[in-house]
Amino acid sequence: MSTVSAKKNEVDRKWFLVDANNLVLGRLAAHVASVLKGKHKPIYTPHVDTGDFVVIINAEKVQLTGRKLDNKMYYHHSGYPGGLKSITAGKLLKERPEEVIKSAVKGMLPHNPLGRDMILKMKVYAGPEHPHAAQKPEPLEIKA
C-alpha cells in the first residue's frame, strides 16, 4: 500500500463564511489558519495547498482578552532610517479592523511561498456585507 499525495489540480475548494462577532481573536485565527491550510480534509498534504477559501465578516466586532487593546502593539517600517511605526491593537481595531485579523492569521501560516498563497484565500470585511454571495459560502461554526 502506498501513500497518496494530493496534487494541486486535484483539490476541490469550498467557500466558508465566518462571523467574527464576539469571537476571541486568537481562537478565530487558529481555526481559520487550519481551514486555509486544509487540515480539516482527509487529503491534507503539508507541501500542497489543500485549503479552502474563508470569508470573515464583522471583523470590527472581534474580541481581545485581557489588556491587549491597550498593551498589544503592531509595528511596521517605512524602509527609511527612523521609520519604525507602532500602533496599539485598540486603535488599529478602530481604524482598520481587517488588518488585525489578517496579521493574526498570517502569523499562524507557513512563512514561505506556500503560506503566501494560502493567505490570499482569506477575505476579511469590517462589516456584515461581503461581495462573495455568488460563491455560496457555507457558514463555518467556531466555538467561542
SS (H, E, C) 111-128: CCHHHHHHHCCEEECCCC
Indicate the pLDDT class of residue 133, thresholds 50, 70 and 90: very high
- Residue-range domains of the chain with CATH: 14-64+96-139 (3.90.1180.10)
> Which residue from 26, 54, 47 is spatially nearest to 124, judged by alpha carbons?
54
Residue count of the chain: 144
Amino acid identity for residue 109 in this structure: L
Per residue in 63-81, pLDDT tens?
999 999 999 999 999 999 9
Q: Check residue 143 and give its pLDDT.
A: 81
Does the pLDDT of residue 57 top 90, yes or no? yes
Structural Rg of the chain based on CA atoms:
17
Whether residue 3 has pLDDT greater than 90: no
3-state class of 54 per DSSP? strand
Average per-residue pLDDT for the chain: 95
pTM: 0.93
Mean pLDDT for the stretch of residues 108-126: 97
Alpha-carbon distance of 119 to 36, in angstroms, equals 7
